[in-house]
Structure 1
Amino acid sequence: MAALKRLLIGRPLKSNELGEQKLNKKKALAILSSDALSSVAYGPEQILLVLITISGAALWYSIPIGIGVLVLLTALVLSYRQIIYAYPQGGGAYVVSKENLGILPGLIAGGSLLVDYILTVAVSVSAGTDALTSAFPALHEHKVAIAVTFVILLTILNLRGVTESATVLAYPVYLFVFALLLLIVVGIYNILTGHVSPELHAPIGTPVAGISLFLLLRAFASGSSALTGVEAISNAIPNFKDPAPKNAARTLMAMGILLAVLFSGIVFLAYYLGITPTAQETVVSQIANQTFGRNIMYFFIQGTTALILILAANTGYSAFPLLAVNLAKDKFIPRMFTARGDRLGYSNGILILGLLSILLIIAFHGQTEHLIPLYAVGVFIPFTLSQTGMMLKWIREKPAGWVPKLVINTIGALISLTVFLMFFMTKFMQVWPFFIFLPFMVYLFYSIKKHYDAVGEQLRITTCEPSVEIKGNVVIVPVSGITHVVEHSLNYAKSLSADQIIAVYIPFEREELSRFDEKWKKWRPDVRLVTLHSPYRSIIHPLSKFIDTIQRKATESQYQVTVVIPQFIPKKSWQNLLHNQTSFMLRAYLLYRKDVIVTTVPYHLKK
């Protein structure tokens, strides 16, 4: 197993090599922006899916809706740029909400983002698999298995370290940006040169029967799913090379510009070419097909789109472990999330994220359209809370130039709240599990925090009750026969300078009592033997009652009861399956007994 681990993950890194694992701006843009950039492949499609329910003529509304999404994107990018400089330690919406709104809003933001990053992986991989099966329809029935395989590969890649995964993932991301820019440029060129019929689309302003403000807001909310992942850079500031805040802010601006250009281009081309979304083929696939035909350029665009949709999951792998670290430092989730692995990444967070994403893909059968509403509603809760938190920060502190910052955050908060409410009202049947799971997570956070506080209080020397003085030691040794294992354990018990050693034998048949007692007196007359008949063939029950009796007497005399459990260890680990694990069961049971010390004495077999 160790050799396999080295092969998959690589050699361990020293702690002082952490600086070498930091990201420059080019790699960070690829690894942290892939989620936001990849959403261009399905964000415009979500707008069209809502509008097409009225009629094909309603698709022209995608243009003003797209402009609205760009306004929200601008507000979010400017706001998160302020968050990066205000909170350079990372943590994003969780830290902002906790410090400005209180612990409960902070935990709601943190819990939402944890769920959102799990959904990031599931949605991205599922969407990438959809793009792959659009190009190769024969693979459609195997989409769940393909998606799970991709998650496993991404998990292994991230366990190898941030720098190594960024090096691998940078190329597909930049290839995708190049492919889509090429698609947009050629598509617009074809339009300008008259190669595209203007009759494919309804003119902007065409009256459409049945259109309503509610439906337009619903389409806007659906299209805003393209903005998921914008917050990831503010969560992952510690991953940047110094000066980290400055590099993170520049990366965020670059991501915002690229996202705006790609999103605008795809929305415009989809409208002008009269693209209608279908279950069999994605919008980007249809645009590429109409622009280039089914040639090498089409497959290049589909291939890079599939790649970035899959690799967009890496944003989750980058941000989830760092957010988990912030929550774990505040004692709201297990401390194991703060431990770095062999390659200096937070490997526990990476593994948990991969496992939960796989379960989600299997549960939803890899259906992207069923996951996106959950995904989007999860991210707009922390969007709204972080903007509101920054508003309160500027009002309270009033630093130089705070008014424009307040305006930016206010606009962002209002639009984010509107989008969230629209998702809640229009897609409640799809997103209701989120509103059950999130309160459960917050309750779990508080329970974990309460446990850690209680443990700390009990372990602290200044607050603990004084320890009881121990005058002696009574050792109980459960024995199953006269063997080298038992002999080894009795010798160890004697080395403890015990005041009394009691060997306990528990036969299932009465005939064994006297027979074993005679053998014992001849073998170890210096050690007291107690035999307890067990008519119900239980070892734990009679032994437990005997320990209770001894413990009552020992407590009165301020003596410590120690149970020494003999155990032989086979030469090969698989051979454990061939033996009755009585010692393991005894140890597991006795560990929860108060005021009883449990010691296992291993005897290693040689063949």
Structure 2
Amino acid sequence: MNMIKRMLIGRPLKSTQLGEQKLNVFKALAILSSDALSSVAYGTEQILIVLATLSAAAFWYSIPIAIGILVLLTALILSYRQIIFAYPQGGGAYMVSRQNLGKTTGLVAGGSLLVDYILTVAVSVTAGTDAIISAFPFLHGYRVSISVVLIIVIMLLNLRGLNESATILAYPIYLFVIALLMLSVVGLYKIFTGQISPTLHTPLGTPVTGISLFLLLKAFSSGCSALTGVEAISNAIPSFKEPAPKNAAKTIILMGLLLGILFTGITFLAFYYGIGPKPTDTVVSQIASQTFGRNVIYYFIQGITAIMLVLAANTGFSAFPLLAYNLAKDKYIPRMFTNRGDRLGYSNGIMALAVGSIILVIAFKGNTTSLIPLYAVGVFIPFTLSQTGMIIKWLREKPKGWFTKLLANLLGTLITFSVLVIFFVTKFDHVWPILIFLPIIVFIFTRIEKHYQAVGEQLRVDSAFTDSKIEGNVVVIPVAGITTVVENSIKYAKSITDEVIAVYISFDPEDEKIFKEKWNKWNPDVRLVTIRSSYRSVIVPLCKFIDTVERKAEESNFQMTVLIPQFITKKNWHNILHNQSSLIIRTYLLYKKDVIVTTLPYHFRK
């Protein structure tokens, strides 16, 4: 097992090698921006899906809608750049909201982002699978299976460490950027040289019967899925090489520029070519097909788009463990999320994310369109809360140049809150689950925190100290026969106390009589108590006896210990050949308040 683990994720790294796992701008842009950049492949398509419910003539509205999305993108980039410098320790929306808007609001932001990163992986992988199916339609029936396998592969890559996964994944991600830039440039060249007929699309400004503000807002909110992942860099500042805030700020600006250019290019080409959504052929696939034909370049673009959409999940795998670390550090989720694995990554967070996203893919049957609205609204909640939190911070602290910063965050708040309202008004049938599971998540967070507080109070030496003294020890040994294992246990018990009691549970009178006789001949110095079990249960009569001894021991200030003999077979598979009653007894007794339970192993040699 250990050999397989080493083969899959590599040899363990020393803690002193943590600095080597930090990211430069080149690698960080690849893995932390992959989600945002990949959304170019389906952002435009989501706009057109809504407009197509009216008619193809309405497709020209994708241009003004795209302009509105670019304005929102600019506001978000500027706002999150400020968050990076204000909170260089990372944590993003969770940290900003918790420190400026209160604990509950911070938990709402943190819970939204945790769920959103799970959705990031699910949406990215299913979108990548759709791109594969567009090129190879015969794979349509294997959508869920392909998605699950891809999630497992990305999980293993991330378990190998942040730096190594970034090195592997950077090249296909940059190839995707180059491929879409090439597609946009060649497409624009063909348009300007008259190779693409201007009759393929409805001219801008053409009146469309039945168009409504509601439909336009719905299309706008769908297109805002292209902005998911923008916040990931602010969550992952500790992953950057020093100076971390400056490198993170450079990365988010570069991401915004690339995202804006690619989204604009794809949206314009889709409009000019008169392309609409198709169930088995993505918008990018149709643009590439019309620009280059179904040749090697087309399959290269489709292949690298599919890979990019899958690798976009890496943003979730990079940001989720760091957010989980911050929540765990504040005692809102299990402390195991603060532990680093063999390769210095937060491996528990990586594996939890993979499991959660696989469950979502299976539950939604790999349908990207069903996941995207919930995915988008999940990220706009922390968008809005983080911008609001920054406004409170500037008003409270008023540093140099605070008013300009406040205006930038105010603009971000107004826009993101408006988009959030639009989501709930236009897509309520898709996003209503968030109104149920988000309060549940916050409730779970608070219950976990309450538990950790209670544990802390009980572990403090001053509160746990009592004046009572332990006068001695009573050891009870459950025995199933006269064996070397039992003999070894009795020798050990007698080395720590003279009060040793062996307990034998019998199922019939004759067996009980025979065992007593054997015991008295073998070891008469150790008290034997036999208990007849009429219902063939070992646990119930044994525990009743232990309760009785426990009460008497407590009256005499004696500590009671149950010593469980257990033999250890030489080979693991031998265990299935034996009755594991000692494990059952130990598990049951561990929950008894005043009983010490200890196991004395006896190792077989063959």
Once residues 332 and 40 of structure 1 are traced to their aligned partners in structure 2, the CA distance between those partners, rounded to angstroms, is 34
Deviation per CA, 1:208-263, whole angstroms, max 9, x where unpaired? 11111121111111100000000000000000000000000000000000000000
Q: 1:467 to 1:243 in 2, by over 3 A?
A: farther
Question: What are the within-5 Å matches in structure 2 for residues 523-562 of structure 1?
Answer: 523-562=522-561
Once residues 145 and 531 of structure 1 are traced to their aligned partners in structure 2, the CA distance between those partners, rounded to angstroms, is 57
Once residues 215 and 265 of structure 2 are traced to their aligned partners in structure 1, the CA distance between those partners, rounded to angstroms, is 23
Once residues 406 and 462 of structure 1 are traced to their aligned partners in structure 2, the CA distance between those partners, rounded to angstroms, is 47
Deviation of 1:495 after TM superposition, in Å, equals: 1.7
Deviation of 1:433 after TM superposition, in Å, equals: 2.0
DSSP-derived class of the 1:342 partner:
coil
Question: What are the within-5 Å matches in structure 2 for residues 112-123 of structure 1?
Answer: 112-123=112-123
List structure 1 runs of 4+ shifted beyond 4 angstroms: none
Q: Is the 8 A contact 1:23 1:241 kept in 2?
A: yes
Deviation of 1:76 after TM superposition, in Å, equals: 0.3
DSSP-derived class of the 2:474 partner:
strand
Q: Is the 8 A contact 2:485 2:566 kept in 1?
A: yes
DSSP-derived class of the 1:594 partner:
coil
Letter in 2 for 1:156: L
DSSP-derived class of the 1:191 partner:
helix
Question: What are the within-5 Å matches in structure 2 for residues 99-110 of structure 1?
Answer: 99-110=99-110
Letter in 2 for 1:35: D
Question: What are the within-5 Å matches in structure 2 for residues 278-289 of structure 1?
Answer: 278-289=278-289
Deviation per CA, 1:65-107, whole angstroms, max 9, x where unpaired? 0000000000000000000000000000000000010001100
Q: Is the 8 A contact 2:217 2:426 kept in 1?
A: no
Once residues 168 and 566 of structure 2 are traced to their aligned partners in structure 1, the CA distance between those partners, rounded to angstroms, is 48
Deviation of 1:434 after TM superposition, in Å, equals: 2.1
Once residues 488 and 503 of structure 1 are traced to their aligned partners in structure 2, the CA distance between those partners, rounded to angstroms, is 13
Once residues 467 and 201 of structure 1 are traced to their aligned partners in structure 2, the CA distance between those partners, rounded to angstroms, is 87
Q: Is the 8 A contact 2:96 2:390 kept in 1?
A: yes
The percentage of aligned residue pairs carrying the same residue is: 69
Q: Which residue of 2 aligns with 1:503?
A: 502
Once residues 538 and 462 of structure 2 are traced to their aligned partners in structure 1, the CA distance between those partners, rounded to angstroms, is 41
DSSP-derived class of the 1:501 partner:
strand
Q: Which residue of 1 aligns with 2:193?
A: 193
Deviation per CA, 1:409-435, whole angstroms, max 9, x where unpaired? 111111111211222122222222222
Q: Which residue of 2 aligns with 1:519?
A: 518
Q: Is the 8 A contact 2:119 2:357 kept in 1?
A: yes
Unaligned stretches of 5+ residues in structure 2? none
Once residues 509 and 606 of structure 1 are traced to their aligned partners in structure 2, the CA distance between those partners, rounded to angstroms, is 34
Deviation per CA, 1:385-419, whole angstroms, max 9, x where unpaired? 00111111111111111122111111111111121
Q: Is the 8 A contact 2:218 2:427 kept in 1?
A: no
Q: Which residue of 1 aligns with 2:401?
A: 401
Q: Which residue of 2 aligns with 1:472?
A: 472
Once residues 319 and 262 of structure 2 are traced to their aligned partners in structure 1, the CA distance between those partners, rounded to angstroms, is 23
Once residues 343 and 467 of structure 1 are traced to their aligned partners in structure 2, the CA distance between those partners, rounded to angstroms, is 47
Once residues 331 and 309 of structure 2 are traced to their aligned partners in structure 1, the CA distance between those partners, rounded to angstroms, is 34
2:272 counterpart of 1:272: yes
Question: What are the within-5 Å matches in structure 2 for residues 127-526 of structure 1?
Answer: 127-466=127-466, 468-496=468-496, 498-526=497-525
Once residues 161 and 5 of structure 2 are traced to their aligned partners in structure 1, the CA distance between those partners, rounded to angstroms, is 14
Q: Is the 8 A contact 1:472 1:499 kept in 2?
A: no
Once residues 495 and 371 of structure 1 are traced to their aligned partners in structure 2, the CA distance between those partners, rounded to angstroms, is 64
Deviation per CA, 1:336-377, whole angstroms, max 9, x where unpaired? 000000000000000111111111111111100011011001
Deviation of 1:465 after TM superposition, in Å, equals: 4.6
Deviation of 1:459 after TM superposition, in Å, equals: 0.8
Q: 1:527 to 1:389 in 2, by over 3 A?
A: same
TM-score by length of 2: 0.99
Once residues 464 and 536 of structure 2 are traced to their aligned partners in structure 1, the CA distance between those partners, rounded to angstroms, is 42
Once residues 4 and 83 of structure 1 are traced to their aligned partners in structure 2, the CA distance between those partners, rounded to angstroms, is 42
Q: Is the 8 A contact 1:88 1:245 kept in 2?
A: yes
2:70 counterpart of 1:70: yes
Stretch deviating more after TM superposition (108-117 or 435-444):
435-444
Q: Which residue of 2 aligns with 1:21?
A: 21
- How many pairs are equivalent? 606
DSSP-derived class of the 1:331 partner:
coil
Deviation of 1:461 after TM superposition, in Å, equals: 1.4
Once residues 219 and 100 of structure 2 are traced to their aligned partners in structure 1, the CA distance between those partners, rounded to angstroms, is 32
Q: Is the 8 A contact 1:473 1:559 kept in 2?
A: yes
Once residues 568 and 467 of structure 1 are traced to their aligned partners in structure 2, the CA distance between those partners, rounded to angstroms, is 39
Q: Is the 8 A contact 1:201 1:271 kept in 2?
A: yes
Stretch deviating more after TM superposition (249-258 or 456-465):
456-465
DSSP-derived class of the 1:505 partner:
strand
DSSP-derived class of the 2:433 partner:
helix
Once residues 228 and 576 of structure 2 are traced to their aligned partners in structure 1, the CA distance between those partners, rounded to angstroms, is 49
After superposition, the CA RMSD in angstroms is 0.8
Once residues 428 and 197 of structure 1 are traced to their aligned partners in structure 2, the CA distance between those partners, rounded to angstroms, is 39
2:601 counterpart of 1:602: yes
Q: Is the 8 A contact 1:479 1:504 kept in 2?
A: yes
Once residues 216 and 408 of structure 2 are traced to their aligned partners in structure 1, the CA distance between those partners, rounded to angstroms, is 24
Once residues 372 and 63 of structure 1 are traced to their aligned partners in structure 2, the CA distance between those partners, rounded to angstroms, is 21
DSSP-derived class of the 1:31 partner:
helix
Once residues 578 and 317 of structure 1 are traced to their aligned partners in structure 2, the CA distance between those partners, rounded to angstroms, is 42
2:39 counterpart of 1:50: no
Once residues 469 and 211 of structure 1 are traced to their aligned partners in structure 2, the CA distance between those partners, rounded to angstroms, is 83
Deviation per CA, 1:98-147, whole angstroms, max 9, x where unpaired? 00100011000000000000000000000000000100001111111111
Letter in 1 for 2:343: R
Q: 1:284 to 1:584 in 2, by over 3 A?
A: same
Deviation per CA, 1:292-344, whole angstroms, max 9, x where unpaired? 00001100110110000000000000000000000001000000000000000
Once residues 577 and 187 of structure 2 are traced to their aligned partners in structure 1, the CA distance between those partners, rounded to angstroms, is 69
DSSP-derived class of the 1:564 partner:
strand
Letter in 1 for 2:552: K
Q: Which residue of 1 aligns with 2:92?
A: 92
Deviation of 1:538 after TM superposition, in Å, equals: 0.6
Deviation of 1:467 after TM superposition, in Å, equals: 5.5
Deviation of 1:464 after TM superposition, in Å, equals: 2.9
Letter in 2 for 1:296: V
Q: Which residue of 1 aligns with 2:6?
A: 6
Once residues 264 and 524 of structure 2 are traced to their aligned partners in structure 1, the CA distance between those partners, rounded to angstroms, is 91
Letter in 1 for 2:323: L
Once residues 533 and 523 of structure 2 are traced to their aligned partners in structure 1, the CA distance between those partners, rounded to angstroms, is 23
DSSP-derived class of the 2:33 partner:
helix
Deviation of 1:437 after TM superposition, in Å, equals: 1.2
Once residues 330 and 579 of structure 2 are traced to their aligned partners in structure 1, the CA distance between those partners, rounded to angstroms, is 43
Deviation of 1:446 after TM superposition, in Å, equals: 0.2
Letter in 2 for 1:380: F
Deviation per CA, 1:128-172, whole angstroms, max 9, x where unpaired? 000001000011111111111111111111000000000000001
DSSP-derived class of the 1:463 partner:
helix
Q: Which residue of 2 aligns with 1:584?
A: 583
Q: Is the 8 A contact 1:391 1:410 kept in 2?
A: yes
DSSP-derived class of the 2:333 partner:
coil
Stretch deviating more after TM superposition (242-251 or 457-466):
457-466
Once residues 60 and 427 of structure 1 are traced to their aligned partners in structure 2, the CA distance between those partners, rounded to angstroms, is 22
Q: Is the 8 A contact 2:214 2:426 kept in 1?
A: no
Letter in 2 for 1:94: Y
